[in-house]
Amino acid sequence: MYVEKENKVQIFINKKEMPYSHQNMARAINSFLPYLTNNDLTELGQDILDLMDHREKKEAESKLEVEKHSWPYPDTINKQTQHDDT
């Protein structure tokens, strides 16, 4: 049976291991960009656009979910309006 090994990812900048942070990850990624081909950059750009699109959809779904579970609850809006009118 094949058991996939967990990858150990380390960030080195100037031969020094750096802690994980947004800034260090961005620096490490940016340092590789000059070595990529135009096709690599095109593919990477499309992957980034796909990821952003996916995140935007999930964020929109999340906002709808929050609205469903926030006061006033959708099923009480009419009841609340009727109560306020009396």
Is a pLDDT exceeding 60 seen at residue 83? no
Structural domains of the chain, count: 1
Q: What pLDDT is attached to residue 56?
A: 97
Residue 45: how many CA atoms within 13 Å on its side-chain side?
A: 7
Residue 65's pLDDT is: 87
Nearest C-alpha neighbor of 25 from the set 9, 42, 6: 9
Extended beta strands in the chain, E state: 11-13, 16-18
pLDDT of residue 42: 97
Is 2 contained in some domain?
A: no
pTM above 0.75, yes or no: no
Give the domain extent around 32.
Answer: 11-85
Q: What is the mean pLDDT of residues 38-42?
A: 97
Give a yes or no: residue 69 inside a domain.
yes
Mean pLDDT of 25-39: 92
Q: What does the pLDDT average to over 3-27?
A: 83
Q: Determine, yes or no, domain membership for 5.
A: no
